[in-house]
Amino acid sequence: MQQTPLFEQYAKHNARVVDFHGWALPLQFAGIIEEHKQVRTEAGIFDCSHMGEFLFTGADAMAALDRLVIGSMTSLAVGKCRYTALLHEDGGILDDGVALRLSEEELLLVTNAGALDSVAALFQQKVPGAKNLSADLAKIDIQGPLAPRILSEFGFECVRSLTFWSGAQLYRKGLDLIITRAGYTGEWGYEIFVPNEGAADLWQELAAHPSVKPCGLGARDTLRMEMGYPLSGQDLTADRTALEAGLDRFIAWDTDFLGKARMEAQRDSGDYQVLTLLKSADKRAPRHGFELVYNGETAGVVTSGTFGPSVNCGIGLGYVPRALAQPGVMLEAGPRKLPVQIETPPFYKESTGRNRIEAHHLQP
């Protein structure tokens, strides 16, 4: 298994390490539910150094990238982030990612580990001027309602001005860093991109703070699930389009992109399945692969499912016909016919992520 620059830090916090797309990563440290609650109440740090980072330089590179994704990268303002999806030739989803416009000439795109080799090959073939930075950068995410205050204490003054879905470059302790405020947990979240040689020191700094605890893949999954965020390779797959995946608000219909005709046909007909939130009445959760049944007939499939610690019930994501995707509709999931109800996103509605950060949020 591949190891991130922070691998040696895991043992100091009693991590349980698993194979995640060929990477040795922590599933948990103190425990999934404890880490989940830590992020909801204070702050947690995640090693996300297995993810991909690509730098695009020049107008030609950005225009070429535009043809491979559902959103316009050329129109993205400097200092702003944009969520998008990378596409196969037929419009199926290859991966999702977050772009940050670093300057008029440069754009950073962050992708996932599962499809990293395929994404890198696509860019090498289709995008002139694309540079793969994945092997050179570590990525440390700090998430939670105390994250802005903690980063401010460590001298990250940019948190005072960063709005939701924005980013900045900064120089700290002899290193050029990039920081974004996007988040995958629903809470105030920051992603810090640091050269490999500075990763361990930054991790140790943050981990030593009394309001911070290391968190693993398990808590990351329950946190994203409570927000209804899809997972690349599980909820977002090659046999689904961005329209089916509920990403229509991110689609730039006035641009040309792979599989556009297929998605336009889906949009115009209205006859397609959509990714939907599913909630049980107790702690039992719908599970990946469970068949969804409506009025005795197969209606769809569950793609993700878990217990939501903050909502105290089973939650899931699944594809159902668009006509069925209405809040309150009841379905049965799996062999034991677990009753699940379609919900409006997110499951957890008390998160801080979109809130404006005021001066008092940065005070001890």
- Domain assignment present for residue 362? The answer is no
> What is the model's pLDDT at position 179?
98
Residue 360's pLDDT is what?
86
171 lies in a domain?
A: yes
Number of domains in the chain: 3
> What is the per-residue pLDDT for 364?
82
Please identify, among 166, 194, 226, the residue that sits at the C-terminal boundary of a domain: 226
| Residue 213 belongs to a domain | yes
Residues 139 and 218 in one domain: yes
| Average pLDDT value for residue range 148-172 | 96
pTM metric for this prediction: 0.96
Confidence of residue 218 (pLDDT cuts 50, 70, 90): very high
pLDDT of residue 163: 96
- We report the CATH number of the domain holding residue 309 as 2.40.30.110
47 shares a domain with 114? no
- Strand stretches in the chain, DSSP E: 16-20, 23-28, 43-47, 52-57, 81-87, 93-101, 106-111, 130-132, 137-143, 166-172, 175-181, 189-195, 212-214, 273-280, 291-294, 297-308, 313-321, 330-333, 338-343
Residue 242 placed within a domain: no
pLDDT tens-digit map of 77-114: 999 999 999 999 999 999 999 999 999 999 999 999 99
Residues 31 and 89 in one domain: no
Please check whether residue 327 lies inside any domain of the structure: yes
- Could you tell me which residues are beta bridge partners of residue 33? none
Mean pLDDT of 273-302: 98
pLDDT the model gives residue 344: 97
> Do 158 and 196 have their domain in common?
yes
Residue 255 lies in a domain: no
Q: pLDDT-derived band of residue 225, with 50, 70 and 90 as boundaries?
A: very high
- Quick one: 120 and 160 in the same domain? no
Q: Is 144 helix (H, G, I), strand (E, B) or coil?
A: coil
The answer on 140 and 126 residing in a single domain is: no
- What pLDDT score does 363 carry? 85
Last residue of one domain, picked from the residues 132, 153, 173: 132
93 and 209 belong to one structural domain: no
Same domain, 43 and 158: yes
Domain stop point among 82, 100, 132: 132
When the pLDDT of each residue in the chain is averaged and rounded to a whole number, the result is 97
d(CA 152, CA 157) in angstroms, rounded, equals 6
Task: Note down the domain range covering 85.
Answer: 53-132
Cβ contacts of 88 within 8 Å, gap of 6 or more: 94, 238, 258, 259
What pLDDT is recorded for position 39?
98
* Residue 73 CA: distances (Å) to CA of 124, 127, 230, 249, 251: 18, 13, 21, 15, 11
187 pLDDT more than 90? yes
Helix runs in the chain, H state only: 7-10, 32-41, 59-66, 116-126, 147-153, 196-207, 217-227, 260-269
Same domain, 221 and 145: yes
What's the pLDDT at 126? 96
Cβ–Cβ under 8 Å, residues 166 and 179: no
Confidence of residue 184 (pLDDT cuts 50, 70, 90): very high
The answer to whether residue 4 scores a pLDDT higher than 90 is yes
Could you tell me if 85 and 122 lie in one domain?
yes
Q: What is the CATH number of the domain that holds 113?
A: 3.30.70.1400
- Would 355 be classed as within a structural domain? no
Residue 307 has pLDDT above 90, yes or no: yes
**Residue 76 lies inside a defined structural domain of this protein:** yes
What's the CATH code of the domain at 214? 3.30.1360.120
Do 282 and 300 sit in the same domain of this protein? yes
Confidence (pLDDT) at 359: 85
> Given a cut of 90, is residue 128 above it in pLDDT?
no
The reply to whether 160 and 14 lie within a common domain is: yes
